[in-house]
Amino acid sequence: MPAVSDMKDAGTPAAAVAGVLDDFDSVADAWWPVIFRYALSSLRDPDAAATLAQDCLMRAWHNRHAFRGDASLRTWLMQIAVNLVRDYGRNRRLQFWRNLRSMPSSVEAAAESLAGRDLSPEARAAIQQQVEAVWAVTATLAERQRTVFLLRFVEEMDVAEIAAATGMAEGTVKVHLFRALRAVRGRMERRQ
């Protein structure tokens, strides 16, 4: 049987994928960091992200018998996470926007990670600026654009997977992705 974390291939037999949900602890161990990361990059609030990731796994566990393996395990879990993030944003609109605008430790973390690399101060500053620009822009994107952008550039999902996880048509995903990238690039160019 393939490892739980490898359940991403369309070729994995549905029964094998569905059967792996019987050992839900393994599923949770494998996907907890991924769901938390998506929730964190979306909400920028570690506590809310942890709660949401736990909620996501609970929902997956409750609905595990409905999972037939038509989509990959990752797509299925991310679909739940995307819905939870969207609901969180709608229910706690004010707090959500405050978190997004605060540009929190994500940028500091990126700076620390850059500091450990063998880069010239200029290169480091340029990269730092770019990363800041991307974080800043994602806070201003429309909800769907931000979702698509984060799934593509943080979670490295392809267009088909994003379409399955968000329930959008592939063409719509491409449009949102392009608009998000245009906004990011515009911000980067202004900073240069």
Binding site for another protein (CB under 8 A): 24-25, 28-29, 32-33, 36-37, 40-41, 46, 49-50, 54, 57-58, 61, 105-107, 109-110, 112-114, 127, 130-131, 133-135, 152-154, 156, 158-159, 174, 177-178, 181-182, 184-186, 188-189
> Hunting for tokens 């989509």 — which residue is that?
71
- The CB density around residue 182, as the number of other CB atoms within 10 Å, is 12
Report how far residue 111's alpha carbon sits from residue 141's, in angstroms, rounded to the nearest whole number: 23
Task: Please tell me what DSSP assigns to residue 65.
Answer: G
Rank residues 13 and 63 by Cβ distance to another protein and give the closer one.
Answer: 63
Least distance between another protein and beta carbon 188 (Å): 6
Contact 128, 114 (CB under 8 A): yes
Ranges of H-type helices in 70-169 = 73-91, 93-101, 105-115, 121-140, 143-153, 159-166
User: Which residue lies nearer to another protein by CB, 29 or 70?
Assistant: 29
> What is the closest distance, in whole angstroms, from the C-beta atom of residue 93 to another protein in the complex?
23
We find the least distance from the C-beta atom of residue 25 to another protein, in angstroms, to be: 7
Cβ-based nearer residue to another protein, 17 or 157: 157
Closer by beta carbon to another protein, 13 or else 103? 103
Q: Which residue is associated with the tokens 């911000």?
A: 187
Q: Which is nearer to another protein, 18 or 154 (CB)?
A: 154
Smallest separation (angstroms) from another protein to the CB of 40: 5
Q: Which is nearer to another protein, 36 or 76 (CB)?
A: 36
Residue type present at position 129: Q
- Backbone dihedral region for residue 44 (phi beyond 0: left; psi -120 to 50: alpha; all else: beta): left
- Minimum CB–partner distance for residue 38 and another protein (Å): 9
Kindly state the DSSP code that residue 85 receives in the 8-state scheme: H
Of the candidates 1, 30, 29, the residue with the CA atom closest to the CA atom of residue 17: 1
Nearest distance, CB of residue 53 and another protein, angstroms: 8
What's the DSSP call for residue 22? T
